Amino acid sequence: MYGEDAKLAIDKYLDDAQRSGVKTVTLVHGKGTGALRKAVSEFLRTDKRVSKYRLGNSGEGDTGVTIVEIK
């Protein structure tokens, strides 16, 4: 998936999660070159639904996932 495609998918996913009352979601972007991880981070940084986000810890997917807390 490319950055712009990911942003559209994340936008819908966050809408669905927020409507369902989900407070924490995991976005799987893989490790790869880091381009997709960077695009995800840039999107989340400005999204008003997001209270905070971080890369996964050991056992959560490490740097291949981003954990997002929704307001």
The rounded distance, in Å, linking the Cα atoms of 31 and 63 is 6
* pTM of the full structure: 0.92
Task: Give me 2's structure tokens.
Answer: 């490319």
In DSSP terms, which residues pair with 68 in a beta bridge? 25, 53
Domain 3-70 has CATH 3.20.20.80: no
Please report which residue ranges of the chain form alpha helices under DSSP H.
3-20, 35-46
pLDDT tens, 6-59? 999 999 999 999 999 999 999 999 999 999 999 999 999 999 999 999 999 999
User: Coil, strand or helix: which one is 22?
Assistant: coil
